[in-house]
Amino acid sequence: MGETPMSALTLLCSGIQLYSAEQRIADCILADVKWAASATSAELARQSQASEATVTRLCHKLGFESYRKFQLALARDVMEQQEAEKSHAAAQPDRMRSILQKFLVNKQEEVRATVQALDADQLRAALACLNAAHVVEVAAASHNLSIALEASVKFGSLGKRCVASAIPEKTRAFAATLTKNDLLLVISGTGRNPALEEVARLARENGAAILLITSARHSPLAQQADHVLLASNREQRLVVGDHAPSQLSALLVIEVLYYLMLLGE
């Protein structure tokens, strides 16, 4: 296994499947990347309430031969980000511009991480379901409703019978009418929403296939889905505290599906 040229931060935010202890380590790193870049594996394990063996396993899963090589890649990420920030600050010492630059860097990484996390086989399977479905219902909640409506318009423009509603009761009622020839497309960043889980249950009872777009592979909705497409979420790198998951990556996945269908893939 050679050293991966990919950014360590991109890999951590790529939606790669992680066990709970590994996810705690990843969250710990993302919470303070500068500290993690200089911390020992023992310190990182202690801070994340995990074992050093789990730290090593996470590094291997990300494609690094050792913790040391992962740490060097992380340090390179920190250095590149600091240099970019210094360069930008020197060019225009304005806090607003600095915030915009940080936003730009994170969104670029989010797009890159989402594309890299898309599994080709899952993508082909998702496209097969979309193309074969007689009816496609797109379900989402709260801030993702606009993405669901956009998806229904895009797929509808390709000739698919596609529906989406901002009314939960209507979404649930329509899901109960889906058949084995239909598809339920669910968009949920967290993969945890009781109303959407109920919609998925109704669709599954009638034999409909379920496609989920999420940043959480280990979630209740992911357990119900036939196909899962991962959308990276880097909002934790921009905002401290409560925040709404990014919509950019989910929209990007919809765009990928749309253009692949348009190209006849």
Same domain, 217 and 126: yes
125 and 208 co-located in one domain: yes
- Give the residue-averaged pLDDT of 103-116: 78
Examine the domain organization and report whether 154 and 88 are in the same domain. Answer: no
CB distance 228 to 189 below 8 Å? no
Structure confidence at residue 208 (pLDDT): 97
Same structural domain for residues 142 and 240?
yes
Q: How far is CA 175 from CA 172, 184, 215, in A?
A: 5, 8, 23
Q: How does pLDDT run across 196-255, given as a tens digit for each residue?
A: 999 999 999 999 999 999 887 778 999 999 999 988 765 544 444 444 556 888 999 999
Is there a single domain that holds both residue 71 and residue 187? no
Sequence-separated (6 or more) residues with CB below 8 Å from residue 219: 188, 190, 191, 192
Q: Does residue 180 form part of some domain?
A: yes
pLDDT at site 4:
41
In a domain, 86, yes or no: yes
Q: Which string of b and e fits 11-41 if b means at least 16 CB within 10 Å?
A: bbbbbbebeebbbbbbebbeeebeebbebeb
Give pLDDT, residue 242. Answer: 46
* pLDDT (0 to 100) of residue 244: 54
Range of the domain at 35: 8-93
* Domain assignment present for 224: yes
pLDDT given at position 239: 44
Q: Do 84 and 128 lie in a common domain?
A: no
Q: Residue 257 sits in a domain of what CATH number?
A: 3.40.50.10490
Q: How many domains does the chain have?
A: 2
Query: Which of these, 83, 85, 58, lies nearest to 69 by C-alpha position?
Result: 58
> Are 142 and 209 in a shared domain?
yes
Query: Does residue 178 carry a pLDDT above 70?
Result: yes
- Same domain, yes or no: 145 and 206: yes
pLDDT digits (tens, 9 = 90+) for 67-86: 999 999 899 888 877 776 66
Q: Using the predicted structure, report yes or no on whether residue 108 has a pLDDT greater than 60.
A: yes
What's residue 91's pLDDT?
A: 56
Is 104 contained in some domain? no
Percent of the chain with pLDDT over 70: 87
Q: What is the mean pLDDT of residues 255-262?
A: 94
> Are 16 and 85 in the same domain?
yes
Residue 99 lies in a domain: no
> 91 Cβ partners below 8 Å, 6+ apart?
none
Whole-angstrom Cα distance, residue 265 to residue 72?
Answer: 39
Last residue of a domain, one of 77, 93, 109: 93
DSSP type of residue 153: H
Q: What integer is the mean pLDDT of 121-142?
A: 94
Asked whether residue 130 falls in the same domain as residue 85, the answer is no
CATH code of the domain containing 12: 1.10.10.10
